[in-house]
Amino acid sequence: MLHRIFGIETEYGLLINQEQPDRPPSWIAHQIIDHLFRTKRAGVLDLHHRGYDEPPGNGGFLLNGGRMYVDMGHLEFASPECHSLRDLVASDRAGDWLLQDAIEELGLSENVSVIKNNIDHETDATFGCHENYLVSRNFPFSYNGLGKLIPFLVTRQIFTGAGRIGATENIDGWIPLEQLSREPDLLQQPSNRLTIPYQISQRADYIVNDFFEWVQHNRAIINTRDEPLADPTQFRRIHLLVGDSNLSEIATALKMGTTGLVLQLIEDGHAPNGLDFTDPVEALRQVSRDQERTWMLTLATGETLSAIDIQERFLECAQTQYQGQDEETDWILQEWEEVLRDLRGDYTTLVGRVDWASKLWLLETFRQQEHLAWEDPWLKSLDLEYHNVDPHKGLYFGLMDEGKAPCVTTRDAIELAKYSPPRDTRAFGRGEVIRYLADSSWSGIQEPEDEARQFPPYVINWSVFQVRGSKAFIMPDPFRSYIQEVRTHLKL
């Protein structure tokens, strides 16, 4: 798409299919990291501390230009920088495939499942799917500018949500005031999850603010941390953690593509006005939990619109301004229009394209066949199995096998993306560095000595790398591949 670099960071759940496992998921996560980097040579491990919680050997950059590492006990894959949505979807799926390959090669596939979702039903813990969008430094990074993005993000869950059974309250000690006024005995109740059998978003219950800089205990609709990972005089990085991880390739492309277009509307001064909410966080939950799926919302102006109405306002602006801009933009505009049209009818027409609808249809079909109540643990188990990245077990892949789930990419493109970066971003140059280091003796280092911890043989970050014996090489522009400059620098 025009002037946009995309990236997705996915945190995965690890499900151990044993009643009394002898190893915790975090131990398995580190076994997978060791296998990918030390056995398969799919990248090079960090030999330096990246942070207090990222010691040497915790993860590293992959041959495809992305990163795989352990974050707060979770496996996390950060895709390489992508300039097209098809590259992004292929890279996102490649992360799933790399992990599933490792599970099988380690002989763990019978007892361990990689789950691409955002909640633990037993502990109510959440783990995220973070979206990254490169914008110009001139982007109106203010309440007035970013505020125009809020109504879009609150309502886009109607086609980007992954769906979940139940609800979660009292997240990290937060109890919204409107819930206290509505339910004065909330503190005495363990949960109201059974009164909400199904909702369309997994992350909605965990968002407690509209804007906030830090992410772990004050999750906001928009993260305002200024960390461009590029030339800070030219670029900003919009970092979002409000969305769900998607299995549907259409949903992934729509999530990123429509958001990219709305950011362009804001950059160009064409975003629709008058769609603000008095309380965006409450509106986010209201949409997610609406059992009738009418998704009616009251704006700060007092006007009542549905989430579909609000999305159509953004769509109309984008069609007016950007129809014909490029092939990928036109594809997104068409898919966006079609999914909004179908959301006004029977939700089952969205099976295969929208994750919450696909999962709901599968659960409802099974529930009726077996005469189960929504609180039955069997359904919760099926909820998780929808997100299993194993194509032989994951329920979503059953839809693909039946031809019910259209694809954006191909198997060949995903296989290529496991070990090769996009060729039109700086990930291409970084991939060349990774390949050079993976072929060197340094890649066989098991545990760096004290001297290597202080002066490692190489250091790699998103916008710079340095190999011992040479100067630091800076890559400030994510739109450039730097491939020839990197080869010259490495004397290849």
Residue range 134-147: average pLDDT?
92
Q: 45-49, 316-320, 442-446: lowest mean pLDDT where?
A: 442-446
Measured distance CA(331)–CA(320) in Å, rounded: 15
57-109 confidence digits (pLDDT tens): 999 999 999 999 999 889 999 999 999 999 999 999 999 999 999 999 999 99
**pLDDT at position 1, please?**
74
Amino acid residing at 82: C
Please confirm, yes or no, whether 424 is among the known catalytic residues: no
**pLDDT at position 97, please?**
98
Q: Residue 449, class by beta-carbon neighbours within 10 Å (0-12 exposed, 13-18 middle, 19+ buried)?
A: exposed
Measured distance CA(323)–CA(332) in Å, rounded: 10
- H/E stretch holding 75 reads strand 74-78
CB-based contact 205:221 (threshold 8 Å): no
Measured distance CA(115)–CA(469) in Å, rounded: 42
For the entire predicted model, the pTM comes to 0.93
In the block, residue with structure tokens 């503190």: 187
For 395-429, b/e burial (b = at least 16 CB within 10 A) is bbbbbbeeeebeebbeeebbebbbbbbbebbbbbb
Helices (H) and strands (E) counted in the chain, each on its own, are 17, 17
pLDDT at 445 over 70: no
Which residue has better confidence, 216 or 374?
A: 374
358-415 confidence digits (pLDDT tens): 999 999 999 999 999 999 999 999 999 999 999 999 999 999 999 999 999 999 999 9
CB-based contact 165:380 (threshold 8 Å): yes
**pLDDT at position 212, please?**
58
pLDDT at 50 over 50: yes
In the block, residue with structure tokens 């339910």: 183
**pLDDT at position 442, please?**
58
Catalytic annotation, pick one of 71, 210, 244, 390: 71
Closest CA to 64 of 417, 414, 481: 417
156-183 confidence digits (pLDDT tens): 999 999 999 999 875 554 555 555 444 4
**297 confidence band (pLDDT: 50, 70, 90):** very high
254-288 confidence digits (pLDDT tens): 999 999 999 999 999 999 999 999 999 999 999 99
CB-based contact 317:272 (threshold 8 Å): yes
How many other β-carbons are positioned within 10 Å of the β-carbon of residue 316? 12
The chain-wide mean pLDDT, for the chain, equals 91
386-402 confidence digits (pLDDT tens): 999 999 999 999 999 99
CB-based contact 442:85 (threshold 8 Å): no
As a whole number of Å, the CA-based R_g of the chain is: 22
Closest CA to 154 of 119, 106, 203, 215: 203
Closest CA to 297 of 289, 288, 307: 307
How many other β-carbons are positioned within 10 Å of the β-carbon of residue 213? 11
**pLDDT at position 182, please?**
46
Which three-class secondary structure state does DSSP give residue 440? coil
- H/E stretch holding 452 reads helix 450-454
Q: Residue 211, class by beta-carbon neighbours within 10 Å (0-12 exposed, 13-18 middle, 19+ buried)?
A: middle
**pLDDT at position 189, please?**
44
**pLDDT at position 8, please?**
98
